[in-house]
Chain A
Amino acid sequence: MSLDRAYRRLLLAYPARWWDERGEEVLTVLLEGAEARGARRPSAGEAADLIAHGLLARAGRLGGAMRADVDDRARELTAALALASLTALSLLCLVFGEWWPWTSVGGGLAEPLSSFSGTPGPFWTIGGPLMVLLLVPAALSLAGLPRLARGLLAASVPVIVATPAVAAVLGWNRPAWWALAGLLLFAVLSLAAPVRRRLLLGGLVAGLSGVTILVVYGHLQAGFDPRPGFYYGYLLQSLALAVPVGVLAAVAMASARRAIIPACLVGSAWLITFAGRLVSAAADTTGALLYLAAAAALGLVALASASYHRLMHDRQPALS
Protein backbone atom coordinates (compact mmCIF):
# COMPACT_ATOMS: atom_id res chain seq x y z
CA MET A 1 0.00 0.00 0.00
CA SER A 2 1.36 3.44 -0.89
CA LEU A 3 2.20 5.89 1.85
CA ASP A 4 -0.42 8.31 0.54
CA ARG A 5 -3.12 5.65 0.70
CA ALA A 6 -2.08 4.47 4.14
CA TYR A 7 -2.37 7.99 5.54
CA ARG A 8 -5.70 8.53 3.80
CA ARG A 9 -7.01 5.40 5.52
CA LEU A 10 -5.88 6.62 8.90
CA LEU A 11 -7.52 9.99 8.28
CA LEU A 12 -10.83 8.18 7.86
CA ALA A 13 -10.94 8.30 11.67
CA TYR A 14 -11.87 11.99 11.29
CA PRO A 15 -15.39 13.13 10.39
CA ALA A 16 -16.11 13.89 6.73
CA ARG A 17 -16.56 17.60 7.39
CA TRP A 18 -13.12 17.79 8.99
CA TRP A 19 -11.64 16.01 5.96
CA ASP A 20 -13.23 18.59 3.66
CA GLU A 21 -11.66 21.44 5.62
CA ARG A 22 -8.32 19.97 6.65
CA GLY A 23 -7.74 16.59 4.98
CA GLU A 24 -5.49 17.52 2.05
CA GLU A 25 -3.48 19.93 4.16
CA VAL A 26 -2.77 17.37 6.91
CA LEU A 27 -1.97 14.73 4.30
CA THR A 28 0.72 17.08 2.95
CA VAL A 29 2.22 17.45 6.42
CA LEU A 30 2.19 13.68 6.98
CA LEU A 31 3.79 12.93 3.60
CA GLU A 32 6.47 15.61 4.00
CA GLY A 33 7.32 14.26 7.45
CA ALA A 34 7.50 10.67 6.22
CA GLU A 35 9.67 11.61 3.24
CA ALA A 36 12.05 13.56 5.49
CA ARG A 37 12.41 10.48 7.71
CA GLY A 38 12.59 8.12 4.76
CA ALA A 39 9.60 6.21 6.12
CA ARG A 40 7.66 3.84 3.91
CA ARG A 41 4.66 3.46 6.14
CA PRO A 42 3.03 5.39 8.97
CA SER A 43 4.61 4.74 12.35
CA ALA A 44 2.59 3.18 15.15
CA GLY A 45 2.79 6.47 17.05
CA GLU A 46 1.44 8.42 14.08
CA ALA A 47 -1.39 5.93 13.59
CA ALA A 48 -2.39 6.12 17.27
CA ASP A 49 -2.19 9.92 17.22
CA LEU A 50 -4.38 10.24 14.12
CA ILE A 51 -6.94 7.68 15.26
CA ALA A 52 -7.19 9.21 18.74
CA HIS A 53 -7.59 12.76 17.46
CA GLY A 54 -9.95 11.61 14.70
CA LEU A 55 -12.22 9.90 17.21
CA LEU A 56 -12.06 12.94 19.48
CA ALA A 57 -13.09 15.11 16.54
CA ARG A 58 -15.99 12.76 15.82
CA ALA A 59 -17.08 12.81 19.46
CA GLY A 60 -16.91 16.58 19.37
CA ARG A 61 -19.07 16.70 16.26
CA LEU A 62 -21.63 14.26 17.63
CA GLY A 63 -21.75 15.86 21.05
CA GLY A 64 -21.81 19.29 19.54
CA ALA A 65 -24.52 18.82 16.92
CA MET A 66 -26.47 21.66 18.45
CA ARG A 67 -23.29 23.49 19.37
CA ALA A 68 -22.20 23.57 15.75
CA ASP A 69 -25.33 25.47 14.90
CA VAL A 70 -24.86 28.05 17.57
CA ASP A 71 -22.05 30.51 17.30
CA ASP A 72 -19.51 30.87 20.04
CA ARG A 73 -20.96 34.11 21.35
CA ALA A 74 -24.35 32.44 21.80
CA ARG A 75 -22.72 29.57 23.67
CA GLU A 76 -20.92 31.97 25.98
CA LEU A 77 -24.14 33.79 26.73
CA THR A 78 -26.05 30.55 27.25
CA ALA A 79 -23.41 29.29 29.68
CA ALA A 80 -23.35 32.59 31.61
CA LEU A 81 -27.14 32.85 31.85
CA ALA A 82 -27.45 29.19 32.83
CA LEU A 83 -24.76 29.48 35.51
CA ALA A 84 -26.43 32.64 36.87
CA SER A 85 -29.75 30.74 36.89
CA LEU A 86 -28.16 27.72 38.59
CA THR A 87 -26.74 30.01 41.27
CA ALA A 88 -30.00 31.92 41.74
CA LEU A 89 -32.10 28.72 41.96
CA SER A 90 -29.62 27.07 44.35
CA LEU A 91 -29.57 30.13 46.56
CA LEU A 92 -33.34 30.47 46.52
CA CYS A 93 -33.91 26.80 47.39
CA LEU A 94 -31.14 26.88 49.97
CA VAL A 95 -32.35 29.95 51.85
CA PHE A 96 -36.10 29.53 51.52
CA GLY A 97 -36.46 25.80 51.33
CA GLU A 98 -33.54 23.94 52.79
CA TRP A 99 -32.32 26.03 55.71
CA TRP A 100 -33.91 24.20 58.61
CA PRO A 101 -33.83 26.83 61.39
CA TRP A 102 -35.44 29.33 59.03
CA THR A 103 -38.15 27.25 57.44
CA SER A 104 -38.99 25.34 60.62
CA VAL A 105 -40.55 28.52 62.03
CA GLY A 106 -43.60 27.67 59.99
CA GLY A 107 -43.86 24.23 61.49
CA GLY A 108 -42.84 21.96 58.64
CA LEU A 109 -42.64 21.56 54.92
CA ALA A 110 -45.29 20.84 52.38
CA GLU A 111 -42.44 19.76 50.14
CA PRO A 112 -40.26 17.88 49.52
CA LEU A 113 -42.30 14.76 49.62
CA SER A 114 -40.11 11.87 50.57
CA SER A 115 -40.46 8.65 52.44
CA PHE A 116 -37.36 9.43 54.47
CA SER A 117 -37.15 11.58 57.51
CA GLY A 118 -33.46 12.27 58.10
CA THR A 119 -32.04 15.76 57.78
CA PRO A 120 -28.37 16.49 57.05
CA GLY A 121 -27.14 19.15 59.44
CA PRO A 122 -29.13 22.37 59.37
CA PHE A 123 -30.83 21.41 56.11
CA TRP A 124 -34.18 19.81 55.50
CA THR A 125 -32.95 17.56 52.72
CA ILE A 126 -29.78 16.27 51.11
CA GLY A 127 -30.37 19.11 48.64
CA GLY A 128 -28.89 21.56 51.16
CA PRO A 129 -25.27 20.38 50.83
CA LEU A 130 -25.82 19.89 47.09
CA MET A 131 -26.98 23.48 46.65
CA VAL A 132 -24.03 24.79 48.65
CA LEU A 133 -21.78 22.86 46.25
CA LEU A 134 -23.63 24.35 43.26
CA LEU A 135 -22.81 27.87 44.41
CA VAL A 136 -19.08 27.19 44.03
CA PRO A 137 -18.81 27.19 40.17
CA ALA A 138 -20.08 30.77 39.95
CA ALA A 139 -17.63 31.82 42.68
CA LEU A 140 -14.78 30.13 40.81
CA SER A 141 -15.78 31.81 37.54
CA LEU A 142 -15.90 35.19 39.24
CA ALA A 143 -12.46 34.47 40.74
CA GLY A 144 -11.06 33.98 37.21
CA LEU A 145 -10.91 30.18 37.34
CA PRO A 146 -13.28 29.21 34.49
CA ARG A 147 -11.66 25.83 33.83
CA LEU A 148 -11.98 24.75 37.44
CA ALA A 149 -15.56 25.99 37.43
CA ARG A 150 -16.35 23.92 34.32
CA GLY A 151 -14.74 20.84 35.85
CA LEU A 152 -16.88 21.21 38.95
CA LEU A 153 -20.00 21.79 36.85
CA ALA A 154 -19.29 18.66 34.81
CA ALA A 155 -18.82 16.70 38.04
CA SER A 156 -22.01 18.14 39.53
CA VAL A 157 -24.21 16.70 36.73
CA PRO A 158 -23.86 13.05 37.84
CA VAL A 159 -24.03 14.21 41.47
CA ILE A 160 -27.44 15.83 40.86
CA VAL A 161 -28.65 12.72 39.03
CA ALA A 162 -27.48 10.47 41.86
CA THR A 163 -28.93 12.65 44.63
CA PRO A 164 -32.28 10.81 45.02
CA ALA A 165 -30.50 7.44 45.18
CA VAL A 166 -27.95 8.76 47.70
CA ALA A 167 -30.79 10.20 49.79
CA ALA A 168 -32.49 6.80 49.77
CA VAL A 169 -29.31 5.02 50.84
CA LEU A 170 -28.58 7.50 53.63
CA GLY A 171 -32.20 7.69 54.73
CA TRP A 172 -32.35 11.46 54.26
CA ASN A 173 -35.04 13.55 52.63
CA ARG A 174 -34.49 14.45 49.01
CA PRO A 175 -35.27 17.82 47.43
CA ALA A 176 -38.37 18.23 45.30
CA TRP A 177 -38.11 16.64 41.85
CA TRP A 178 -38.76 19.92 40.08
CA ALA A 179 -35.87 21.57 41.94
CA LEU A 180 -33.53 18.72 40.99
CA ALA A 181 -34.72 18.90 37.37
CA GLY A 182 -34.09 22.65 37.24
CA LEU A 183 -30.63 22.33 38.76
CA LEU A 184 -29.76 19.59 36.28
CA LEU A 185 -30.96 21.58 33.27
CA PHE A 186 -29.02 24.67 34.30
CA ALA A 187 -25.88 22.68 35.13
CA VAL A 188 -25.91 21.03 31.68
CA LEU A 189 -26.53 24.35 29.88
CA SER A 190 -23.71 25.96 31.89
CA LEU A 191 -21.29 23.58 30.19
CA ALA A 192 -21.95 25.20 26.78
CA ALA A 193 -18.76 27.30 27.05
CA PRO A 194 -16.28 28.72 29.56
CA VAL A 195 -18.09 31.46 31.41
CA ARG A 196 -16.91 35.05 31.05
CA ARG A 197 -16.72 36.93 34.29
CA ARG A 198 -18.46 40.06 33.02
CA LEU A 199 -21.35 38.15 31.47
CA LEU A 200 -21.81 36.07 34.60
CA LEU A 201 -21.75 39.14 36.80
CA GLY A 202 -24.45 40.75 34.64
CA GLY A 203 -26.54 37.56 34.77
CA LEU A 204 -26.15 37.26 38.53
CA VAL A 205 -27.09 40.89 39.16
CA ALA A 206 -30.18 40.52 36.97
CA GLY A 207 -31.14 37.10 38.39
CA LEU A 208 -30.59 37.95 42.04
CA SER A 209 -32.33 41.32 41.66
CA GLY A 210 -35.34 39.49 40.22
CA VAL A 211 -35.29 36.97 43.05
CA THR A 212 -35.04 39.73 45.67
CA ILE A 213 -38.00 41.56 44.15
CA LEU A 214 -40.03 38.34 44.22
CA VAL A 215 -39.03 37.54 47.80
CA VAL A 216 -40.03 41.03 48.97
CA TYR A 217 -43.23 40.81 46.94
CA GLY A 218 -44.02 37.39 48.42
CA HIS A 219 -43.55 38.67 51.95
CA LEU A 220 -45.64 41.75 51.27
CA GLN A 221 -48.41 39.57 49.89
CA ALA A 222 -48.32 37.43 53.02
CA GLY A 223 -48.34 40.42 55.32
CA PHE A 224 -44.77 39.88 56.53
CA ASP A 225 -45.54 36.40 57.69
CA PRO A 226 -42.30 35.12 59.21
CA ARG A 227 -42.71 31.80 57.42
CA PRO A 228 -40.75 32.26 54.23
CA GLY A 229 -41.52 28.74 53.02
CA PHE A 230 -40.09 28.53 49.54
CA TYR A 231 -41.19 24.93 49.57
CA TYR A 232 -44.37 26.10 51.27
CA GLY A 233 -46.06 27.79 48.48
CA TYR A 234 -47.02 31.40 48.46
CA LEU A 235 -43.63 32.77 47.55
CA LEU A 236 -43.14 30.07 45.02
CA GLN A 237 -46.61 30.60 43.67
CA SER A 238 -45.80 34.23 42.95
CA LEU A 239 -42.51 33.10 41.45
CA ALA A 240 -44.27 30.53 39.25
CA LEU A 241 -46.55 33.25 37.93
CA ALA A 242 -43.66 35.65 37.43
CA VAL A 243 -41.46 33.19 35.51
CA PRO A 244 -43.37 33.30 32.20
CA VAL A 245 -43.49 37.09 32.36
CA GLY A 246 -39.77 37.24 33.13
CA VAL A 247 -38.92 34.79 30.36
CA LEU A 248 -41.02 36.67 27.82
CA ALA A 249 -39.39 39.97 28.82
CA ALA A 250 -35.93 38.41 28.61
CA VAL A 251 -36.62 36.92 25.17
CA ALA A 252 -38.02 40.23 23.92
CA MET A 253 -34.96 42.12 25.16
CA ALA A 254 -32.61 39.43 23.86
CA SER A 255 -34.10 39.56 20.37
CA ALA A 256 -33.14 43.22 20.19
CA ARG A 257 -29.61 42.36 21.31
CA ARG A 258 -29.19 39.31 19.05
CA ALA A 259 -29.10 36.97 22.00
CA ILE A 260 -32.31 35.16 21.22
CA ILE A 261 -30.88 31.62 21.35
CA PRO A 262 -29.44 31.82 24.89
CA ALA A 263 -32.58 33.56 26.18
CA CYS A 264 -34.82 30.87 24.65
CA LEU A 265 -32.72 27.96 25.93
CA VAL A 266 -32.37 29.26 29.49
CA GLY A 267 -35.94 30.58 29.51
CA SER A 268 -37.31 27.18 28.50
CA ALA A 269 -35.30 25.57 31.32
CA TRP A 270 -36.98 27.92 33.81
CA LEU A 271 -40.41 27.11 32.36
CA ILE A 272 -39.78 23.35 32.54
CA THR A 273 -38.62 23.73 36.16
CA PHE A 274 -41.75 25.57 37.20
CA ALA A 275 -44.01 23.29 35.18
CA GLY A 276 -42.72 20.53 37.47
CA ARG A 277 -43.39 22.74 40.46
CA LEU A 278 -46.99 23.38 39.35
CA VAL A 279 -47.66 19.66 39.07
CA SER A 280 -45.91 18.57 42.26
CA ALA A 281 -47.13 21.30 44.60
CA ALA A 282 -50.33 22.64 43.11
CA ALA A 283 -51.49 19.64 41.03
CA ASP A 284 -52.04 22.18 38.27
CA THR A 285 -51.68 19.96 35.22
CA THR A 286 -53.18 22.49 32.83
CA GLY A 287 -50.80 25.20 33.97
CA ALA A 288 -47.89 22.80 33.71
CA LEU A 289 -48.86 21.83 30.15
CA LEU A 290 -49.05 25.50 29.20
CA TYR A 291 -45.57 26.05 30.62
CA LEU A 292 -44.25 23.00 28.76
CA ALA A 293 -45.85 24.19 25.53
CA ALA A 294 -44.21 27.59 25.99
CA ALA A 295 -40.88 25.87 26.70
CA ALA A 296 -41.25 23.78 23.51
CA ALA A 297 -42.08 26.92 21.52
CA LEU A 298 -38.96 28.64 22.84
CA GLY A 299 -36.92 25.54 21.93
CA LEU A 300 -38.28 25.73 18.38
CA VAL A 301 -37.43 29.44 18.18
CA ALA A 302 -33.87 28.63 19.32
CA LEU A 303 -33.55 25.88 16.69
CA ALA A 304 -34.93 28.08 13.91
CA SER A 305 -32.66 30.92 14.94
CA ALA A 306 -29.64 28.58 15.00
CA SER A 307 -30.47 27.27 11.52
CA TYR A 308 -30.83 30.80 10.19
CA HIS A 309 -27.56 31.78 11.82
CA ARG A 310 -25.73 28.84 10.27
CA LEU A 311 -27.17 29.64 6.86
CA MET A 312 -25.97 33.22 7.10
CA HIS A 313 -22.50 32.25 8.29
CA ASP A 314 -22.07 29.53 5.67
CA ARG A 315 -22.36 32.27 3.07
CA GLN A 316 -19.38 34.07 4.46
CA PRO A 317 -15.90 33.23 3.20
CA ALA A 318 -13.71 30.93 5.27
CA LEU A 319 -10.92 32.40 7.34
CA SER A 320 -7.96 33.04 5.13
Chain B
Amino acid sequence: MHRPPVYIDVMSEELREPTYLLLTALAGERQHGYGLMQEIVALSSGRVVLRAGTLYGALDRLLREGLVAQDGEEVVSGRLRRFYVLTPAGLQVLAAQTARRQATAQVAAGRLRALGVSA
Protein backbone atom coordinates (compact mmCIF):
# COMPACT_ATOMS: atom_id res chain seq x y z
CA MET B 1 0.00 0.00 0.00
CA HIS B 2 1.36 3.41 -0.89
CA ARG B 3 1.55 5.94 1.88
CA PRO B 4 3.20 9.34 1.84
CA PRO B 5 6.47 9.31 3.78
CA VAL B 6 6.43 10.18 7.46
CA TYR B 7 8.29 13.33 8.32
CA ILE B 8 10.98 12.76 10.91
CA ASP B 9 13.55 15.22 11.99
CA VAL B 10 16.37 12.93 10.88
CA MET B 11 18.58 15.83 9.87
CA SER B 12 18.90 16.87 13.49
CA GLU B 13 18.82 13.43 15.10
CA GLU B 14 21.70 11.04 15.48
CA LEU B 15 21.19 7.83 13.50
CA ARG B 16 22.12 4.59 15.22
CA GLU B 17 25.03 2.75 13.69
CA PRO B 18 23.04 -0.08 12.01
CA THR B 19 20.79 2.47 10.31
CA TYR B 20 23.76 4.55 9.26
CA LEU B 21 25.46 1.46 7.85
CA LEU B 22 22.27 0.47 6.05
CA LEU B 23 22.04 3.84 4.35
CA THR B 24 25.75 3.68 3.51
CA ALA B 25 25.32 0.21 2.01
CA LEU B 26 22.57 1.53 -0.23
CA ALA B 27 24.62 4.56 -1.29
CA GLY B 28 26.77 2.40 -3.56
CA GLU B 29 24.24 0.62 -5.69
CA ARG B 30 20.81 -0.91 -5.35
CA GLN B 31 20.81 -3.92 -3.06
CA HIS B 32 18.56 -6.83 -2.18
CA GLY B 33 18.04 -8.04 1.39
CA TYR B 34 20.81 -10.62 1.60
CA GLY B 35 23.21 -8.32 -0.28
CA LEU B 36 22.52 -5.62 2.29
CA MET B 37 23.32 -7.97 5.15
CA GLN B 38 26.66 -8.89 3.57
CA GLU B 39 27.49 -5.29 2.72
CA ILE B 40 26.84 -4.16 6.29
CA VAL B 41 29.13 -6.87 7.65
CA ALA B 42 31.84 -5.76 5.20
CA LEU B 43 31.40 -2.04 5.92
CA SER B 44 31.66 -2.58 9.67
CA SER B 45 34.56 -5.05 9.37
CA GLY B 46 32.37 -7.73 10.91
CA ARG B 47 31.34 -5.68 13.97
CA VAL B 48 27.69 -5.34 12.94
CA VAL B 49 25.73 -8.37 11.81
CA LEU B 50 22.06 -7.64 11.14
CA ARG B 51 19.65 -10.55 11.35
CA ALA B 52 16.73 -10.72 8.93
CA GLY B 53 14.07 -9.59 11.44
CA THR B 54 16.15 -6.58 12.47
CA LEU B 55 17.09 -5.73 8.89
CA TYR B 56 13.50 -5.74 7.66
CA GLY B 57 12.30 -3.83 10.74
CA ALA B 58 14.80 -1.09 9.85
CA LEU B 59 13.99 -1.26 6.13
CA ASP B 60 10.25 -0.93 6.79
CA ARG B 61 10.90 2.13 8.95
CA LEU B 62 13.19 3.74 6.35
CA LEU B 63 10.60 3.05 3.64
CA ARG B 64 7.94 4.73 5.76
CA GLU B 65 10.23 7.69 6.36
CA GLY B 66 10.87 8.04 2.65
CA LEU B 67 14.63 7.57 2.94
CA VAL B 68 14.66 4.27 1.02
CA ALA B 69 12.52 3.04 -1.88
CA GLN B 70 11.96 -0.31 -3.56
CA ASP B 71 13.60 -0.60 -6.95
CA GLY B 72 12.26 -3.63 -8.72
CA GLU B 73 12.34 -7.33 -7.98
CA GLU B 74 13.44 -10.58 -9.57
CA VAL B 75 12.78 -14.26 -9.07
CA VAL B 76 15.89 -16.45 -9.07
CA SER B 77 15.47 -20.23 -8.77
CA GLY B 78 11.93 -19.69 -7.52
CA ARG B 79 13.07 -17.24 -4.84
CA LEU B 80 11.86 -13.65 -4.67
CA ARG B 81 14.40 -10.86 -4.37
CA ARG B 82 13.45 -7.22 -3.95
CA PHE B 83 15.91 -4.41 -4.51
CA TYR B 84 16.21 -1.18 -2.57
CA VAL B 85 17.77 2.20 -3.32
CA LEU B 86 18.36 5.42 -1.43
CA THR B 87 15.92 8.22 -2.20
CA PRO B 88 17.14 11.82 -2.59
CA ALA B 89 15.94 12.41 1.00
CA GLY B 90 17.96 9.38 2.11
CA LEU B 91 21.04 10.75 0.38
CA GLN B 92 20.59 14.10 2.12
CA VAL B 93 20.28 12.46 5.51
CA LEU B 94 23.33 10.29 4.87
CA ALA B 95 25.34 13.34 3.80
CA ALA B 96 24.26 15.35 6.87
CA GLN B 97 25.01 12.47 9.24
CA THR B 98 28.38 11.83 7.62
CA ALA B 99 29.39 15.49 7.89
CA ARG B 100 28.43 15.48 11.56
CA ARG B 101 30.38 12.30 12.27
CA GLN B 102 33.40 13.63 10.38
CA ALA B 103 33.36 16.87 12.36
CA THR B 104 33.21 14.96 15.65
CA ALA B 105 35.93 12.57 14.52
CA GLN B 106 38.21 15.46 13.55
CA VAL B 107 37.84 17.05 16.97
CA ALA B 108 38.47 13.70 18.66
CA ALA B 109 41.54 13.02 16.48
CA GLY B 110 42.93 16.47 17.26
CA ARG B 111 42.56 15.95 20.99
CA LEU B 112 44.11 12.49 20.80
CA ARG B 113 47.06 13.90 18.84
CA ALA B 114 47.52 16.54 21.51
CA LEU B 115 47.77 13.72 24.04
CA GLY B 116 50.24 11.85 21.86
CA VAL B 117 47.80 9.05 21.08
CA SER B 118 47.26 7.98 17.49
CA ALA B 119 43.70 7.06 16.44
Q: Which residues of A contact B (CB under 8 A)?
A: 22, 24-33, 45-46, 49-50, 52-54, 56-57, 71-73, 75-76, 144, 146-147, 193-194, 196-197, 313-314, 316-320
Q: Given that A28-B79, A320-B73 are known contacts, is A49 also in contact with B8, CB under 8 Å in the complex? A: no
A53 touches B57 (CB 8 A): yes
Interface residues of B in 15-37 (CB under 8 A from A): 32-34, 37
Pick from A49, A50, A194: contact of B9, CB under 8 Å: A194
For the complex, is B69 an interface residue (Cβ under 8 Å from A)?
yes
A contact residues around B103 at 8 Å (CB): none
Proximity string of chain B (28-48) to chain A, C-beta cutoff 8 Å, 1 when within and 0 when not: 000011100100000000000
| Contact B53–A50 (Cβ < 8 Å) | yes
Minimum CB–CB distance from B77 to chain A (whole Å) comes to: 9
Query: B64 to chain A: which residues have CB within 8 Å?
Result: 72
CB under 8 Å from chain A, chain B span 44-85: 51-57, 60, 63-64, 69-73, 79-82
Q: Is the CB of B72 within 8 A of A320?
A: yes
CB within 8 Å of A: which residues of B? 1-9, 12-13, 32-34, 37, 51-57, 60, 63-64, 69-73, 79-82
**Docked CA distance A25–B34 (Å):** 10
> Are A33 and B52 touching (Cβ within 8 A)?
yes
Contacts of B12 in A (CB 8 A): 144
- Contacts A28-B34, A29-B33 hold; do A72 and B5 have CB atoms under 8 A apart? yes
Interface SS of B by simple majority: mixed
Q: List 27 A-B contacts (CB under 8 A).
A: A22-B56, A22-B60, A25-B33, A25-B82, A26-B52, A28-B80, A29-B56, A33-B34, A46-B52, A49-B52, A52-B53, A53-B57, A71-B3, A71-B4, A72-B3, A72-B7, A73-B4, A144-B9, A194-B7, A194-B8, A196-B7, A313-B1, A319-B2, A319-B69, A319-B70, A320-B71, A320-B72
Which residues of B lie under 8 Å from residue A24 when comparing CB positions? Answer: 79-80
Rounded to whole angstroms, the CA-CA distance of A320 and B6 in the bound complex is 18
Q: With both chains docked as a complex, state the minimum distance between the C-beta of A63 and any C-beta of chain B, in angstroms.
A: 16
Q: Which residue of B lies closest to A194 (CB)?
A: B8
Contact, CB under 8 Å: A72 / B6: yes
Given A24-B80, A25-B82: A33 and B37 interface contact (C-beta under 8 Å): yes
- A35 and B6 CA atoms in complex are apart in Å by 36
The docked-state distance in angstroms from the alpha carbon of A27 to that of B34 is 10
Known: A29-B34, A32-B34. A313 touches B57 (CB 8 A): no
Instruction: Give B65's nearest chain A residue, CB to CB.
Output: A72
Query: Which residues of the other chain, A, contact B73 by a CB distance below 8 angstroms?
Result: 25, 320
How far, in whole Å, are A71 and B2 apart by their CA atoms in the complex?
10
Residues of A close to B70: CB separation below 8 A: 318-320
Residues of A within 8 A of B7 (CB): 72, 76, 194, 196
**9 tightest A-B contacts by CB?**
A53-B53, A29-B33, A49-B51, A49-B53, A28-B79, A32-B34, A24-B80, A72-B6, A50-B53
Question: Does B9 contact A316, Cβ atoms closer than 8 Å?
Answer: no
Across the interface, which residues of A come within 8 angstroms of B57, CB to CB? 53, 56-57
